[in-house]
Amino acid sequence: MGSRILSRSFGVEKWQSDADDDHDHEGNTSIGSSMDVDEQHPTNSDAQDDNEDDDREDDDDGHDSSDTAMVPMADMLNARYGSENAKLFHEKDELKMIATKPIKSGEQIWNTYGDLPNSELLRRYGHVDILPLPNGEKGNPGDVVEIRADAVVNAISEAHSNLTTESFTERIDWWLEEGGDDTFEFDLELEYPEAVLSIVRLFLLSGPEFEKAQAKGKPPKPKADAEVLPILQQVIRERLKEYPTSIEEDVALLQAENLSVNLRHSTVVRQGEKKILTAIYAKLNADLRQHGSGNQNKRKSDRQPEVKSHKKSKR
């Protein structure tokens, strides 16, 4: 129930000063609903005092200075990826829903939740977006798949058993200290995230090469070569094994008329993620063949990954 209430709430900036009553500012994206609200700018003296207060509040509870508010009727607008034509703005004593594009008579008014992937839309707001995609299929253009850094570490440790635990730990700690990511997002653009290429190459460096990287304070350049791509193959293959069904089984499941709304939405989410992973895997195979690794041997990893079917799965 708490998440349901918060999904209908809006993050609005605290009113800072009367000095800006007569000034309008561009809306910033609110926290609770991703609807836009009018941002107010305090005077310099007020800003300094407020920043000090905010720092104390942040230290106390980890939250910023935004208020979470219930706004009657403001959540009545539907939202859809890339369709936004209205935003919510607020002044001191009132809120305004303002059209940001021409809207024809009878045309739907769309709010925005920030063009989120279906996994986030379902988690936060209980719905998913299904739209035509450039490849002719349907789904959410904003869909992504997150892969954790430990999945990369596991794949490297399997492929290079000579690497010690101490070596892994030292390099992971340095990567994080340098601001490296601990999760990597793959999306429908099917580009390899630069961070994942860099961290794989980091683990494959020799001892002297790693010391040189430390001295420079720079992780290795992201390069998708014949040494890195097989590691990514293993990562993607293992990620696909985490799903209880295949894409074909999801397609058949979505055709069922008696499917509950929640199960239908969750199936759409995992289907979209698997389509991204499968397309990335196919690209990896093609890139490896281009690098000439396909001439060395016909490896199992060069085949399309199998996703085990668990017919009795509760997901």
pLDDT reading at 314 higher than 80:
no
Among 27-36, 120-129, 181-190, 306-315, whose mean pLDDT is lowest? 27-36
pLDDT digits (tens, 9 = 90+) for 141-177: 999 999 999 999 999 999 988 888 898 999 999 999 9
Higher pLDDT, 186 or 3: 186
Position 41 confidence tier, pLDDT thresholds 50, 70, 90: very low
pLDDT for 315 equals 40
What residue type is 204 in one-letter code?
L
pLDDT for 224 equals 94
What residue type is 262 in one-letter code?
N
pLDDT for 31 equals 34
Distance set, CA 208 to CA 98, 212, 215, 293 (Å): 60, 6, 11, 27
Distance set, CA 16 to CA 12, 22, 42, 58, 127 (Å): 12, 13, 5, 17, 35
Cα dihedral sign for 164, 168, 170, 171? positive
pLDDT digits (tens, 9 = 90+) for 69-115: 676 776 778 888 989 999 888 777 888 888 999 999 999 999 888 88
Region 175-182 average pLDDT: 94
pLDDT for 92 equals 77
User: pTM here?
Assistant: 0.73
pLDDT digits (tens, 9 = 90+) for 217-228: 999 999 999 999
